[in-house]
Structure 1
Amino acid sequence: MRDELARRDVDVVTVPYNRGDIRNKNEKGILTRPAEIAANIPTVVDATRSLYELIRDRNIDIVHTNSFKSAVLVSFPARITGTPLLFHARSSRAYSDHGILDRYVCESADRIIANSEFTASTYSPWSEKTTVIYNGVNTDVFDPAEVTPRDIIAEHDLRNDQPVIGTVGRLTPRKRQIDLVRALPEIQKSHPDVQVLFVGGSYKGLGTAHEREIAATMRELGVEDCITFTGYVDDVHRYLAAFDVSVLPSLKEPFGRVVVESLLMETPVVGTADGGIPEIVTHGETGYLVPPEEPRVIADSVTRLLDNPSRMTEFGQRGREESLERFDAATITEQEQAVYHDVLAL
């Protein structure tokens, strides 16, 4: 978003949690001044003072926060300087209810931007000041015409003539990757040579209880040989292009950015009918929606797609068309700028 705003000659001051979050942004004409927050500042008081000085000294017109933590820190400085505050809710209160702090942030904000109708529904006490604007994606990066899937296939020693199922996200209980593992034996009945990529997260020494549970389930079901864990990657678009089907079995996903990214890469999606995912996937047209925590239904939906390559192509192409229209970063930035103008006019 900041790059899009800069292209529109908006003077953007970016305040990351630490200096490592901003790389070479000054070269793009974006003004940055890191506020050494949390781990890098001894106290929240110092962070608040730093933010107050930044808002005052730079004559900031509007403060747009992109996380709950940043909203907590900047609410008071924005209030005492009389600067309008936008709280961008990118996670729902279904999993992160902060009690009195939620009330403090939402009452302090002049406007709340929610990244989905689902997220907005969890902020219902403040519905009169809440606007839904979906997350934007750089559609120039997520362009299947610019990617060669064979590169990823070769990098991970996969077979080019066998189907690839993939899921993207950190290995956490809420992402429910374990449901995809449990779906594999059923998928293998029709597609015994199916290959699976788990992209993102960590699989280092089975460091968490959830990772150990995934590993134990893989051994129990005998599907270890068909699953590859990539670890964190910064070129997700290349992996999505290599997927035949993208699976997101998450619970209460606030938005589901990887769903949009999958569709932009013309990869059909099997996702849970939960959280924000149904706002992205059109069931039976760009993918299939399945009940949460139902591995058998995941297996049935994935198999239906793998059994019908022309349907996969049709779903993928339609998904890209819809996503280009709804989620392009430039379009989303226009919507956010409209909110800026509304707030400044108050």
Structure 2
Amino acid sequence: MRVLVIHPVGTFGGASKSIIEFHNHLRNYSVDMEVLCASGSVVEQFGNNGYLSFSVKHISQFDNTGYGYYRGIRWLLLLREIAFLLPSFISIRKNLKNKNYDIIHINEVTLIPWAALMRRWADAPIVVHVRSLQRKETAGLRSRWLKYIMKKHVARIIAIDNSVRRTLPQEFCVNVIHNSMKVDVNKKHSLNTRTRFRVAIVGVLLKLKGVYEFLEAARILVHDRGLDIEFYVVGENTRELSGWKASILKRLDLAHDVRRDIEEFVAKNSLQDHIVLMGFIEDVQSIYADLDVLCFPSHLNAAGRPVFEAAFYGVPSIVAVKDPPPDTIIHGETGICIDKPDGRLLADAIERLFNNSDELKILGKNAKELANRNFDIKKNAEALLKLYNNVIAQQ
């Protein structure tokens, strides 16, 4: 079986990591993956795992997710996507025309507007992975247009969890297949010998991930409350900005050089002895066993991939999420949920676990059980294989 994955993000992150994990397992079933992706660190990661990739500078997207949909000043981002339409069109057509693929797997729902052309050029069914909460289906013309495309041109939809599933139209046939990870229990540790309580945020350095709220929580706990805690920031910076361009984009809240902002915050607040900026780590499994708590204070109202990754090592998470379905995190049982990404709320939750080692252990134990139950790589990869086979059989 030949599968072409279309991946629009150049930075190596959760979506690319998840598709690699799945297909590393599916190799055992003669599934051959190739990748068309935006240029960036993700190209190297696909190559390191033995996958042939075709990279282009940019692939135009249309963002109608619950967090990123176009409104106000964010309409300027759509102009960027329009500017790349023609080169995206040429690149996609070149890599699909007259190629023999059994499945086209769109790895981000923001590529949905391309579905009709991809289906025509490749003469292959389309599978779409939905990895983020969507706007309500009644939210206007844009949502209805995307719903029409999905109904007409997409063979099957995958949601990464039940939180995402419930933001999709109920009449859609959606398979919930959780992201997964092959756990290496013998992984060498990256951190030094533990001397203090350790908290981390893991993921691509983006404002929407809650990095700034994490920093503010660190400041509150160290300076206002006098707690001796180490805070680790693990992830790749997406943009290095400088000069007038950086000033304008930051003022408009359209882009941030997050690494630079972290360095300035640490220096301004004299937190050099408490905040460690680790940068990109290719294998994050090497740090989880050395942590006490993982934080995921994102603006996405969801529990991201690092939550279950840490859980496999018995590390509970603090997540900014309202009313989550019990397949990812259970408040007070496998972790702590806070109502919104807020530095003070996050600090309160960290302090609660800092002062209660018994609760910390119970949460970690329960989180590990939940991870083993819902995020097992063998079970979920085989669910994806079954989906692929069913789609092909229905053509």
2:381 pairs with 1:333: yes
Q: Distance in 2 between matches of 1:182 and 1:254?
A: 20
The residue that corresponds to 2:23 in the other structure is: 2
Query: Is the contact between residue 115 and residue 154 of structure 2 (CA under 8 Å) also seen in structure 1?
Result: no
Stretch of structure 1 that moved more, 334-343 or 86-95: 86-95
Cα displacement string for residues 101-137 of structure 1 (whole angstroms, at most 9, x for unaligned residues)? 734652421111121223233332x742322221122
1:252 equivalent in structure 2: 300
Give the TM-score taking structure 2 as reference length. 0.70
Corresponding residue number in structure 1 for 2:319:
271
Q: How does 1:168-187 map to 2 (within 5 A)?
A: 168-187=202-221
1:196 aligns with 2:231: yes
1:235 deviates by 2.4
Determine helix, strand or coil for the equivalent of 1:43: helix
Where structure 2 has 5 or more consecutive residues not aligned to the other structure, the ranges are 1-21, 60-83, 251-255
Report the counterpart of residue 103 of structure 2 in structure 1. 62
Q: 1:10 to 1:147 in 2, by over 3 A?
A: closer
Structure 2 distance, partners of 1:36, 1:206, is 23
**Is 2:130 the counterpart of 1:89?**
yes
Tell whether the 8 Å contact from 1:273 to 1:291 is kept in structure 2 after alignment. yes
Q: Secondary structure at the match of 2:180?
A: coil
Distance 1:182 1:11, change over 3 A: closer
Kindly report which structure 2 residues correspond to 1:207-218, keeping only aligned pairs within 5 A, or say none: 209=250, 211=258, 218=266
Inter-partner Cα distance in structure 2 for 1:327 and 1:249: 21
Q: Which runs of 5+ in 1 are unaligned?
A: 155-159
In the alignment, which residue of structure 2 is the partner of 1:324?
372
Q: Secondary structure at the match of 2:278?
A: strand
Aligned to 2:191: 152
1:130 aligns with 2:181: no
Partner of 2:392: 344
Superposed CA offset, 1:67-99 (max 9, x none):
24655546414235542111112233359x993
Q: Distance in 1 between matches of 2:179 and 2:112?
A: 18
Alpha-carbon distance change, 223 to 131 in structure 1, aligned in 2, over 3 angstroms: same
8 A contact 1:119–1:276 mirrored in 2:
no
Find the counterpart in structure 2 of residue 157 from structure 1: none
8 Å CA contact 1:251, 1:275 repeated in 2: no
Residue 249 of structure 1, CA deviation: 0.6
Partners of 1:252 and 1:274 within 8 A in 2: no
Asked if structure 1 preserves the Cα contact closer than 8 Å seen for 2:232 and 2:278, the reply is yes
Aligned to 1:180, the other structure's residue is in SS state helix
- Asked if the contact 2:316/2:335 (under 8 Å) is kept, the reply is yes
In structure 1, the partner of 2:163 is 118
Alpha-carbon distance between aligned partners in 1 of 2:49 and 2:215, rounded to the nearest angstrom:
40
Greater shift in the superposed pair: 111-120 or 17-26: 17-26
- What CA deviation, in whole Å up to 9, does each residue of 1:1-30 have, x standing for no partner? 11111111234444444564532555xxx6
The CA RMSD measured in Å over matched residues stands at: 3.5
Identity of aligned residues (%): 22
SS at 1:131 equivalent: strand
Secondary structure in 2 matching 1:335: helix
Q: Which residue of the partner structure matches residue 306 of structure 1?
A: 354
3-state DSSP of counterpart to 1:123? coil
Structure 2 Cα separation of the partners of residues 177 and 16 of structure 1:
26
| Alpha-carbon distance in 2 for matches of 1:217, 1:38 | 32
Could you tell which deviates more after superposition, 255-264 or 195-204? 195-204
1:211-226 matched pairs, under 5 angstroms: 211=258, 218=266, 223-226=271-274
Give the deviation of 1:287 after TM superposition.
1.2
Whole-Å Cα distance in 1 between the matches of residues 324 and 204 of structure 2?
18
Q: Is the 8 A contact 1:116 1:255 kept in 2?
A: no
Match of 1:162 in 2: 196
Aligned partners of 2:277, 2:49: CA distance in 1, in Å? 32
Q: Which of 142, 145, 148 is the matching residue for 1:99?
A: 142
Structure 1 residue 220: Cα displacement = 6.4
Instruction: Note closer, same or farther for the CA distance 1:39–1:306 as it changes in structure 2 (3 Å cut).
Output: closer
Equivalent pairs counted in the alignment come to: 326
Whole-angstrom CA distance in 2 between matches of 1:153 and 1:111: 46
Supply the distance in 2 between the matched residues of 1:333 and 1:94 (Cα, whole angstroms): 28
